[in-house]
């Protein structure tokens, strides 16, 4: 049993590319759900829009990444408008229903046979994506510390990714403590009260939906650039629910919640997986097959998260006093 | 009246003007701030509100009373744009309001509170107050990143908010979450917050509901104070003592219609009002009415 390896893997993944992608998606959910109270259950659609924008523009059309990024932003805003315009005037639950359906529509659309020439069907889009970005990589070689190992390529993505998250977190922090942030938090508590004070809440909800969607889309862009492959079945609703888990783990409506939440979530997931793997190899758990690890780690992590919700329902950064107040 | 020695100049003026007005439903007033015509709202086949004509005198404290289900809150919802009538027109300061979005109604100076208090629980008391201020530069999404654009305005708003909180004796609570306040304190906060909007007409939906008697007197004084500062007050209330104490004019609704209007002393003696409240047969014993339990279907044998 190599505990050092288990820890190393866990730490590497906890601050790795996947954690960055989920952190961005969760930052979007935090903006929408945590601060504004919008139940967007289709965050994965925004991630898919980001990833597929890069895939289509760069691989299918052979154009540059620097064009794909603004197009992904544009597509993300369009998606938010399409989801928001009909639903944001209605009660909160409608947005939840529409967004979860829309995220599945997006996934079925990108894997459809009819659009296979452009979107790659079930195989997705594979190939060099974001060469321009990787050409800027200043690191000469792979990175290896006892507990932290990245390929040269991943290291560059990780550093740029966390730097981006740092900048975006600062912007969100400024946003939520401004009068604008006060309005969206008011909407979360009681929309009609905010309307009665003369605020056009529809506009604020739309802004929050767009902003949160954009954060998810940036996660999708990083996905494509880092993994050089986008496949429709990566974008299942689970992604959305992981993002919600991360938000609740870190503490909803906390600026640093998604960051800490994403790190802890991926640490736990990888740690449990690698630990089980090692334990099975060491012959400690004869009744298990290596293929059982996938489901079991989710069961164990799920139990852990449930305990967290029972014993610390406000999440890591949350304020229990605040949670005790009934939101409505 | 013993209370008259406490009346401010605007109260005396309003009562003098309204003293000249005839006491009948739909009567025109000398200087109405709010005028509604043929406002009808149906829920299915039931006409929840069917108001032919009503006017609210500027500078007055007008009470809207009526038994449960009379349509008082629905009238509030309709006039402030929170609900849409099937037909009807109404004007505020001469401006037509039919079809105007509720947030615009509030910006025009007609601000309401709610029967079920809507304190924004997980915002502090001070933030609740600040939210009420209109035309805030910092509420634009792009401006939030440029605090120098709105910081001075934010300080003005905060000063004004603290002033109002002080008046309502809530200043020591400013840093608390609004959700931690008592029911009565929430009523006060909601009223103070509505004042942050700078209303010309403030519409209070049951300001006394759930308020303990100790707070009632101070709430009454606050409502009188609001009028003395120039606003018009329209409120829904069940507590007849309160209605009697502070209102200059009372509008009585029953089954969606306005059945009586007049000064409180006159209206409360009106037989049609007493009937509406207590039922035409209120002098008879309950067992004599056709609605006794034993005749209901599935009733006990």
Return the number of other C-beta atoms located less than 10 Å from residue B207's C-beta: 25
pLDDT per residue as tens digits for the range B222-253: 999 999 999 999 999 888 888 888 999 999 99
pLDDT for B292: 42
What mean pLDDT is reported for chain B?
87
* SS3 of chain A: helix, strand, coil, percent, to 5: 75, 0, 25
Within chain A, strands assigned E span 125-126, 143-144, 149-150, 229-230
Largest CA distance in chain B: 77
CA-based torsion, A258, A262, A263, A268: positive or negative: positive
pLDDT for B40: 94
A328 shares contact with chain B (CB less than 8 Å): yes
Closest CA–CA distance from residue A170 to any residue of chain B (Å): 10
Domain residues for the domain of B154 are 123-180
User: How many structural domains are present in chain B?
Assistant: 2
Residues B69 and B198 in one domain: yes
What mean pLDDT is reported for chain A?
91
Rounded CA-CA distance B54/B88 in Å is 12
Region A27-46: mean pLDDT is 95
Give me the phi and psi of A191, to 5 degrees please.
-65, -45
Q: Which residue of A has its CA nearest to B190?
A: A193
pLDDT for A2: 82
Does residue B207 contact residue B215 with C-beta atoms inside 8 Å? Answer: no
Strand B110-112 and strand B201-205: pairing? parallel
Rounded CA-CA distance B193/B187 in Å is 10
List CB contacts (< 8 A) between B123 and chain A: 182, 185-186, 189
The band of A194, judged by pLDDT with boundaries at 50, 70 and 90, is very high
Residues B102 and B38 in one domain: yes
Structure letter (DSSP) for residue B180? G
Rounded CA-CA distance A102/A82 in Å is 10
Does residue B226 contact residue B164 with C-beta atoms inside 8 Å? Answer: no
Residues B37 and B93 in one domain: yes
Residues B276 and B243 in one domain: yes
Determine the 3-state secondary structure of B233 from DSSP.
Answer: strand
Q: Which residue of A has its CA nearest to B155?
A: A179
Those residues with Cβ within 8 angstroms of residue A295's Cβ, 6 or more apart along the chain or in another chain: none
Partners of residue B236 on adjacent β-strands: B64, B205
Structure letter (DSSP) for residue A38? -
pLDDT at residue A324 above 80?
Answer: no
Partners of residue B112 on adjacent β-strands: B203
List CB contacts (< 8 A) between B113 and chain A: 196
Rounded CA-CA distance B45/A315 in Å is 49
pLDDT per residue as tens digits for the range B64-121: 998 888 899 999 999 999 999 999 999 999 999 999 999 999 999 999 999 888 989 9
pLDDT for A312: 84
- Does residue B56 lie in a domain region? yes
Closest CA–CA distance from residue A185 to any residue of chain B (Å): 7
Alpha carbons within 13 angstroms on the beta-carbon side of residue A49 total: 29
pLDDT per residue as tens digits for the range A234-271: 999 999 999 999 999 998 889 999 999 999 999 999 99
Rounded CA-CA distance A158/B125 in Å is 42
The band of A145, judged by pLDDT with boundaries at 50, 70 and 90, is confident
pLDDT for B295: 41
- Does residue B295 lie in a domain region? no
The band of A320, judged by pLDDT with boundaries at 50, 70 and 90, is confident
> Residues of B225-249 as b/e, b for ≥16 C-beta within 10 angstroms?
ebbeeebbbbbbbebeebbbbbbbb
pLDDT for B54: 94
Strand A143-144 and strand B46-57: pairing? unpaired
Residues B175 and B187 in one domain: no
pLDDT at residue B280 above 80?
Answer: no
Task: Name the token pair of B81.
Answer: 């744009």
Region A304-317: mean pLDDT is 83
- Does residue B135 lie in a domain region? yes
A170 shares contact with chain B (CB less than 8 Å): no
Structure letter (DSSP) for residue B128? H
- Does residue B130 lie in a domain region? yes
- Does residue B289 lie in a domain region? no
Are B118 and A183 inside 8 Å of each other by CB? no
pLDDT for B75: 94
Determine the 3-state secondary structure of A62 from DSSP.
Answer: coil
pLDDT for B219: 86
**Percent of chain A residues topping a pLDDT of 70:** 99
- Does residue B290 lie in a domain region? no
- Between chain A and chain B, how many beta carbons pairs sit less than 8 Å apart? 112
pLDDT for A326: 55
pLDDT at residue A290 above 90?
Answer: no
Residues B216 and B79 in one domain: yes
A78 shares contact with chain B (CB less than 8 Å): no
- Does residue B288 lie in a domain region? no
pLDDT at residue B60 above 90?
Answer: yes
Structural Rg of chain A based on CA atoms: 20
pLDDT for B282: 58
Region B49-63: mean pLDDT is 94
> Residues of A279-302 as b/e, b for ≥16 C-beta within 10 angstroms?
ebeeeebeeeeeeebeeebeebbe
Residues B46 and B113 in one domain: yes
pLDDT for A310: 85
Does residue B185 contact residue B172 with C-beta atoms inside 8 Å? Answer: no
Region B22-48: mean pLDDT is 91
Task: Pick the more confident residue, A320 or A155.
Answer: A155
pLDDT at residue B3 above 60?
Answer: no
Alpha carbons within 13 angstroms on the beta-carbon side of residue A290 total: 5
Rounded CA-CA distance A243/A18 in Å is 12
Region A157-172: mean pLDDT is 96
Determine the 3-state secondary structure of B227 from DSSP.
Answer: helix
Structure letter (DSSP) for residue B65? E
- Of the candidates B270, B253, B262, B272, which has an alpha carbon nearest to the alpha carbon of residue B51? B253
* CATH number assigned to the domain comprising residue B78: 3.40.50.300
User: Could you say which of 1.20.120, 1.10.10, 1.10.357, 1.10.3470 is the CATH number of the domain covering A3-324?
Assistant: 1.10.3470
pLDDT for B286: 53
pLDDT for B300: 38
pLDDT at residue A108 above 90?
Answer: yes
Does residue A249 contact residue A315 with C-beta atoms inside 8 Å? Answer: yes
The strand order across the sheet containing B257-262 reads: B110-112, B201-205, B232-236, B61-65, B249-254, B257-262
Q: Which residue of B has its CA nearest to A89?
A: B101
pLDDT for A283: 83
User: How far from chain centre, in Å, is Cα B13?
Assistant: 21
The band of B291, judged by pLDDT with boundaries at 50, 70 and 90, is very low
Residues B73 and B189 in one domain: yes
Region A162-172: mean pLDDT is 97
Rounded CA-CA distance B198/B194 in Å is 7
Return the number of other C-beta atoms located less than 10 Å from residue B214's C-beta: 8
A164 shares contact with chain B (CB less than 8 Å): no
Rounded CA-CA distance A66/A90 in Å is 37
The band of A50, judged by pLDDT with boundaries at 50, 70 and 90, is very high
pLDDT for B216: 84
pLDDT for B281: 60
Residues B207 and B97 in one domain: yes
Which of the residue ranges A125-134, A177-186, B287-296 has the most confident prediction, judged by mean pLDDT?
Answer: A177-186
Residues B212 and B94 in one domain: yes
The band of B22, judged by pLDDT with boundaries at 50, 70 and 90, is confident
Structure letter (DSSP) for residue B177? B
Are A200 and B177 inside 8 Å of each other by CB? no
Are B111 and A180 inside 8 Å of each other by CB? no
Does residue A245 contact residue A298 with C-beta atoms inside 8 Å? Answer: no
List CB contacts (< 8 A) between A200 and chain B: 101, 103
pLDDT for B37: 94
Residues B64 and B135 in one domain: no
pLDDT for B107: 95
Of A1-5, A93-97, A113-117, A156-160, the range with the lowest mean pLDDT is: A1-5
Q: How many residues does chain A have?
A: 328
pLDDT for B287: 56
Q: Which residue of A has its CA nearest to B76?
A: A196
pLDDT for B6: 67
């Amino acid at each position: 049993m190599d505990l050092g390896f288990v820890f190393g893997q866990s730490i590497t993944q906890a601050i790795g590319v996947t954690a960055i992608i989920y952190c961005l998606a969760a930052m979007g959910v935090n903006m929408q759900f945590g601060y504004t109270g919008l139940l967007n259950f289709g965050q994965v659609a925004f991630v898919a829009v980001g990833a597929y924008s890069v895939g289509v523009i760069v691989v299918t059309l052979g154009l540059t990444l620097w064009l794909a990024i603004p197009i992904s932003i544009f597509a993300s805003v369009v998606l938010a408008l399409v989801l928001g315009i009909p639903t944001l005037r209605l009660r909160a639950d409608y947005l939840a229903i529409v967004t979860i359906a829309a995220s599945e529509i997006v996934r079925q659309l990108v894997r459809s046979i009819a659009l296979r020439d452009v979107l790659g069907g079930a195989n997705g889009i594979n190939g060099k994506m974001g060469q321009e970005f990787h050409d800027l990589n200043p690191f000469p070689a792979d990175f290896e510390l006892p507990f932290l190992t990245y390929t040269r390529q991943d290291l560059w993505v990780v550093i740029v990714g966390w730097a981006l998250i740092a900048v975006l977190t600062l912007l969100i922090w400024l946003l939520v403590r401004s009068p604008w942030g006060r309005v969206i938090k008011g909407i979360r508590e009681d929309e009609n009260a905010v309307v009665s004070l003369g605020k056009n809440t529809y506009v604020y909800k739309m802004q929050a939906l767009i902003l949160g969607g954009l954060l998810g889309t940036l996660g999708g862009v990083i996905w494509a650039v880092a993994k050089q492959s986008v496949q429709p079945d990566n974008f299942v609703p689970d992604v959305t629910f992981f993002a919600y888990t991360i938000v609740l783990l870190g503490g909803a409506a906390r600026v640093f919640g998604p960051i800490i939440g994403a790190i802890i979530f991926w640490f736990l997931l990888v740690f449990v997986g690698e630990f089980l793997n090692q334990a099975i190899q060491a012959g400690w758990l004869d009744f298990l097959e290596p293929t059982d690890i996938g489901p079991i780690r989710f069961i164990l992590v799920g139990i852990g998260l449930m305990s967290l919700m029972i014993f610390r329902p406000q999440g890591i950064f949350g304020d229990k006093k605040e949670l005790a107040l009934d939101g409505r | 009246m013993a209370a008259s020695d406490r009346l401010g100049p605007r109260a005396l003026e309003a009562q003098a003007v309204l003293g000249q007005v005839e006491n009948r439903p739909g009567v025109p007033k000398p200087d109405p701030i709010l005028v509604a015509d043929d406002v009808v709202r149906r829920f299915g086949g039931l006409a929840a509100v069917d108001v032919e004509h009503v006017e609210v005198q500027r500078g007055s404290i007008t009470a809207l009373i009526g038994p449960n289900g009379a349509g008082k809150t629905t009238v509030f919802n309709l006039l402030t744009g929170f609900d849409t009538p099937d037909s009807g027109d109404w004007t505020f300061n001469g401006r037509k309001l039919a079809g105007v979005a509720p947030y615009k109604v509030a910006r025009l100076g007609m601000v309401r509170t709610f029967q079920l208090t809507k304190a924004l629980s997980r915002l502090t008391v001070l933030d609740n107050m600040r939210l009420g201020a209109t035309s805030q530069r910092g509420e634009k999404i792009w401006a939030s990143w440029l605090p120098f654009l709105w910081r001075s305005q934010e300080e003005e708003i905060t000063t004004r908010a603290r002033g109002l909180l002080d008046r309502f004796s809530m200043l020591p609570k400013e840093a608390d979450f609004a959700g931690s306040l008592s029911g009565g304190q929430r009523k006060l906060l909601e009223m103070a917050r509505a004042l942050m909007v700078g209303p010309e007409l403030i519409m209070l939906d049951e300001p006394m509901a759930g308020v303990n008697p100790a707070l009632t007197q101070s709430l009454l004084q606050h409502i009188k104070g609001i009028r003395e500062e120039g606003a018009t007050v329209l409120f829904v209330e069940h507590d007849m003592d309160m209605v009697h104490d502070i209102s200059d004019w009372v509008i009585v609704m029953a089954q969606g219609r306005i059945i009586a209007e007049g000064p409180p002393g006159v209206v409360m003696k009106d037989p049609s009002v007493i009937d509406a409240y207590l039922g035409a047969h209120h002098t008879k014993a309950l067992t004599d009415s056709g609605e006794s339990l034993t005749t209901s279907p599935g009733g006990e044998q």
